Amino acid sequence: MKETNQTIANRIKRAVDASVPDVLPKLLEQIEETKEFVTMEHIINEENTRPMPRKRWALTALAPLAAVLILVLAGWMAWFRWMPGAVISFDVNPSIEMSVNKKEQVLKVTPANDEAEAVLGDMDLKGVKLDVAVNALIGSMVRQGYISDLKNSILITVDSRDAQAGKDLERRLSSEIGDLLEGFSVSGSIMSQTSRADDRLKSLAEEYGISLGKAALIGHLVESDPAIAYEDVARLSINDLSLLIAARQPALDSVLITGQASSKGYIGPDRATAIALEHAGLSEADIRKLEVELDFEDGRMVYEVEFYRGETEYDYDIDAKSGEIVKFKIKDKSEGKDPVTPPAGSGSYIGSDKAISIALEHAGFTKDSVTRLRTELERENGRMVYEVEFEHGDYEYEYEIDALTGKILDIDIDRLPSSGGVVRPQPTNPAYIGSSTAEDVALKDAGLTRGQVRKLETELEREDGRMIYEVEFEYGDYEYEYEIDAVTGKILDIGIERIKKTGTTTAPGAPSGNLISKDEAISIALRHAGLSRSAVRSLEVEYKEKKKEYEVEFKYGGYEYEYEIDAVTGKILEWEKELD
């Protein structure tokens, strides 16, 4: 078949179409995608350049402030949860301190000694409610025998910035612990108090190794009964302190006491009496005026047993727990009789006759030449001594003689209060210079004569292991005091002071230049004592020219304080605190 030109053309077109791909649709599709991308980018750019609406701007600005408020609120909530609302101390022998927040959740428990560690064991009380924690502590103390019928006392101390809240908590805890102990079949004695832990209290607790609560209780006791020395009772247990308070009945308005402390761990008054009578070699039928009292001596509880046989007085201190005789005195109250017969079991004591003979021989007198001769056999500083006293002329003599060896331990010679003269009898010990010579030495040093001075007094006494004469006299507005070696006549110490009058006084030679002032010296002493000027009484200050020292004295709480302060540096050179 002959193909026409048209047929040939159509065939060529089909061949070309089949061999060349059709890319037009894909090109058109890519063009459309490009247009869409450009359009979106344009829209985004327009959005960024368009002004932000006012509402969105305000929210953005307040966001940091809101964050700060959230942090403050979170901090306040943390403070409320973790800030102590009160610190509570529980003292038996174990001493445990517990901090709680205002919701009475336990923040921290601190054991103060090994016994407290044993009570806590592996208990984790952090975060526990207070009543649950107290229940656990009391239960542990009872189970381990720290609270029992033999020692049933506990001291609770609440330290809170809110005084009323602290008092309420103290009373509530006292009641709750009483109920807890009854549940354990223990009749408890509970002492409770509120107290703020100031620097003075912390210092006392550290000095005596006791808890702050116990330090506060003893402070109240000493203030109400000045006859009690802080250091003497600091070693007593809480149960012993409770018994002492019951025996002496001081006015402790700041301490709430419920229940009766147990004395079942003590030997009892009947046994103490039997021990004293056995030592004295007597029976109860032989004696009169028997008195037995529970008291303390040298850091321990004792029974004081006193009785008479004829005119002889017997006085025993018996350890309340062990029954040991701590000390005893036997004193004949009659005049001119041989004072003391050693009690049964006294072994090789020299006897009162020998002790009297030793004292009189040393003084250079005979038995007939003295008056008011008395002797006591007593325990002093761990040894038995005879205390021999007598009078001769205008003076009173007192000797302490070792009951076993006869050695003279101490001598004291005092002018009798009614004496106004200056002439005295003197011991005949040839080694001593004599009181007249001692007075001459003192007067010569002062540049004065006997006729110029008044109230001349001299005592022979033992001080720091040596015998000295203490010579005192007055001249003008000043009092002179000399200490002179009784053997060599050497002047050991001199004190010259203005005679005290009412009000604050100063000594001769008022300080000047770079020395501290009188008021500064007072401030140094009061600051050391932890007291304010308005709290003390009888405040006196003296300046000692020779030593460049201030002597500051004042009274507080039944005690007398005395300070010696360097007038140049302000350093405390020496201080004393003693019962007023």
Q: 257: part of which helix (H) or strand (E)?
A: strand 256-258
Contact between residue 262 and residue 151 where contact means Cβ atoms under 8 Å apart: yes
pLDDT of 272 reads 93
Q: For position 77, what pLDDT does the model report?
A: 56
Buried b (16+ CB within 10 A) or exposed e, 134-147: bbbbbebbbeeebb
Which among 449, 429, 452 is positioned nearest to 440, based on CA atoms?
449
| Token pair listed for 552 | 């500051």
Give bridge partners of residue 478 from the DSSP assignment: 475, 498
Q: Exposed, middle or buried by CB within 10 Å (0-12, 13-18, 19+), for 459? A: middle
Residue type, 47: E
Name the residue with tokens 């009380």: 125
The pLDDT, as a whole number, for residue 418 is 53
Query: Can you say whether the dihedral through the CA atoms of 355, 356, 359, 364 is positive or negative?
Result: negative
Contact present, 104 and 132 (Cβ < 8 Å): no
**Residues in a beta bridge with 480:** 473, 496
What is the full per-residue pLDDT of the chain (580 aa) written as tens digits? 455 656 655 665 565 455 445 544 554 455 455 444 444 455 445 555 555 565 555 556 666 666 667 765 655 555 555 567 789 989 988 889 899 998 889 998 988 888 888 889 889 888 899 999 999 999 999 999 999 888 899 999 998 888 898 898 989 998 999 899 989 888 889 999 998 878 888 888 888 888 888 888 988 888 887 777 788 788 888 988 888 888 877 778 888 888 888 888 899 999 999 999 988 888 888 888 899 988 887 778 899 999 998 878 888 989 999 998 887 777 766 544 444 455 555 557 888 889 999 999 888 888 889 998 988 888 776 678 888 999 988 788 889 898 888 888 888 777 776 544 433 444 445 567 888 888 999 998 888 888 888 888 888 877 776 788 889 998 887 788 898 988 888 888 887 777 765 444 444 444 445 688 888 888 888 888 878 887 888 888 888 877 788 899 988 877 788 888 888 888 888 878 777 6
Concatenating the DSSP letter of every residue in 332-392 gives E-SSSS---PPPTT--S---HHHHHHHHHHHHT--GGG-EEEEEEEEEETTEEEEEEEEEE
Answer whether 471's CB lies under 8 Å from 481's CB. Answer: yes
Identify the bridge partners of residue 107 per DSSP, sorted by sequence position: none
Q: What is the full DSSP assignment across 99-130?
A: EE-TT-BEEEEEE-SHHHHHHHTT---TT-BH
pLDDT at 509: 41
pLDDT at 508: 41
Do residues 187 and 198 lie in contact, with contact meaning Cβ atoms separated by under 8 Å? no
Strand partners, 318: 303, 325
For tokens 């912390």, the residue is 202
Instruction: Note the pLDDT of residue 156.
Output: 93
